[in-house]
Homo-oligomer: A and B are copies of this chain.
Amino acid sequence: MHPTTQRLLQSTPNRPGIDTGLLGDCIDACGICAAACAACADACLGEADLAAMRRCVRLNLDCADVCAATGVVASRTLDPDLPSVRALLEACVRICAACGAECARHGAKVAHCAACAEACRTCEQACRKLLAGWPGSA
Q: Does A4 contact B36, Cβ atoms closer than 8 Å?
A: yes
Smallest distance from the beta carbon of A9 to chain B beta carbons, Å? Answer: 7
> Which residues A47-92 have CB closer than 8 A to chain B?
50-51, 54-55, 57-59, 61-62, 64-66, 68-69, 71-73, 75-81, 83-85, 87-88, 90-91
Q: Chain B CB within 10 Å — which of A35, A50, A95, A119 has the most?
A: A35
Is A137 close to B, CB under 8 A?
no
Q: How far is the CA of A43 from the CA of B73 in the complex (A)?
A: 13
Q: Which residues of B contact A116 (CB under 8 A)?
A: 8
Nearest-neighbor residue (CB-CB) of A79 within chain B: B55
Q: Is the CB of A42 within 8 A of B75?
A: yes
Given A72-B35, A87-B91, A111-B11: A78 and B58 within 8 A (CB)? yes
24 CB contacts below 8 A, A to B, read A4-B36, A8-B112, A8-B115, A10-B111, A11-B43, A14-B46, A35-B72, A38-B75, A38-B76, A39-B75, A45-B54, A45-B78, A50-B51, A54-B78, A55-B79, A58-B78, A58-B80, A62-B76, A65-B72, A66-B69, A87-B87, A87-B90, A87-B91, A90-B91
Q: What 10 additional pairs, Cβ within 8 angstroms, besides A7-B114, A12-B39, A88-B88?
A: A2-B32, A8-B116, A12-B112, A27-B39, A35-B72, A50-B51, A58-B78, A62-B81, A66-B73, A87-B94
